[in-house]
Amino acid sequence: MGLSGNSRRIPDAPPDPRVPDLVRRHAAHRFEKPIQAHNQSAFDWLSERIGLRPTVVIDAGCGTGVSTLRLADRHPKTWVVGVDKSAARLSRGIGYDAARIGHQRGRILWVRADLVDFWRLALAADWRVARQYLLYPNPWPKPAHLSRRWHGHPVFPTLLTLSRTLTLRTNWRTYAEEFGEALATVRRPYAIEDECGGDLTPFEAKYRASGHRLTELRVGAEPRSQAAPSTS
Ligand SMILES: C[S@@+](CC[C@H](N)C(=O)[O-])C[C@H]1O[C@@H](n2cnc3c(N)ncnc32)[C@H](O)[C@@H]1O
């Protein structure tokens, strides 16, 4: 996908009324899909480097990985982990070598993995997530694709248990509003803001250049400080 400033806007729509029931249903059932071997390997690779029960910032669906570098500036004292399922995007952005399991620059690490497995592994391993960033997730705007949006997916309860704090950015306001409805269903407080400060990601820059309205949803305040990791 090119990153020029001519991207088409997705029209606003009312939040899908099925969201609360879907969230309740997912919260009531264990999500049992088996973990795929390559996701387990990626997670093990990370664990070997950052240890047991690490405190981390996660850039979930980091695309080219450029945003992970920017998030590391915002969170100077913790491990920062970028995860994306596309090796092509990661290699384009940060020179990720698809033949290897992961890529590390000091306290910043990237892996190619599917978040559906990655989040479940991180929760099972008791990771301490200082902040989870979901920057411009694929919107899947068709009604039939509701369960592909993160708040409509069976992994949503896992994501929330793992993430005391979270920042979501989107160029489709409906996505943020629905995500908010899903949070309200499980009584998690959140705030929605109409502006996103600074271009954190290539998609953000593209959407801004195309005149899109950018929305941020936040759960919890930005952490002030985290424990310094050892990068030896
Ligand atoms: C619209 S792009 C946004 C990328 C980046 N955050 C940005 O703003 O520039 C969405 C990204 O999410 C990734 N993605 C979608 N579903 C995923 C999944 N289940 N696991 C890991 N990555 C996923 C895609 O590969 C893609 O890079």
Q: Does ligand 1 lie within 6 Å of residue 67's CB atom?
A: yes
Res 232: pLDDT: 44
pLDDT for 14? 96
- 61 CB under 6 A from ligand 1? yes
User: Which residue CA neighbors atom 14 of ligand 1 most closely?
Assistant: 61
Ligand 1 midpoint to CA 60 (Å): 7
DSSP characters over 158-214: HHHHH-SSEEEEES-HHHHHHHHHHHHHTT---EEES---S--SHHHHHHHHTT---
pLDDT digits (tens, 9 = 90+) for 60-112: 999 999 999 999 999 999 999 999 999 999 999 999 999 999 999 999 999 99
3 Cα to the center of ligand 1, angstroms: 14
Rounded Cα distance between 62 and 201, Å, is: 8
| pLDDT band per the 50, 70, 90 thresholds, residue 3 | low
pLDDT beyond 50 at 225:
no
Coil, strand, or helix at residue 52?
Answer: coil
pLDDT at 199: 84
22 lines ligand 1 (CB under 6 A): no
Which atom, in ligand 1's list, is nearest to the CA of 202? 9
Q: Which CATH superfamily is domain 19-28+36-219 in?
A: Vaccinia Virus protein VP39 (3.40.50.150)
pLDDT tens digits, residue range 26-37?
999 999 999 999
Burial class (CB in 10 A: 0-12, 13-18, 19+), 87: middle
- Distance from the alpha carbon of residue 186 to the mean position of ligand 1, in angstroms: 25
**Alpha-carbon gap, residue 176 to 155, rounded angstroms:** 17
Predicted local distance difference test score (pLDDT) of residue 195: 81
**Which atom of ligand 1 is nearest the CA belonging to 200?**
8
Q: What is the pLDDT of residue 37?
A: 98
For residue 204, give the ligand 1 atom closest to its CA. 8
Q: Summarize pLDDT for 153-171 with one digit per residue, the tens.
A: 999 999 999 999 999 999 9
Reported confidence tier of residue 229, pLDDT bands at 50, 70, 90: low
For residues 224 and 79, what is the distance between their CA atoms, to the nearest angstrom? Answer: 15
| CA pair distance 114, 102, nearest whole angstrom | 13
d(CA 5, CA 20): 35
Q: Which of 101, 85, 87 is nearest to 137 (CA)?
A: 85
- For residue 174, what pLDDT band results from cuts at 50, 70 and 90? very high
Local confidence band at 230 (pLDDT 50, 70, 90 cut-offs): low
Select from 1, 8, 62 the residue to mutate for testing ligand 1; criterion: most ligand atoms less than 8 Å from CB: 62
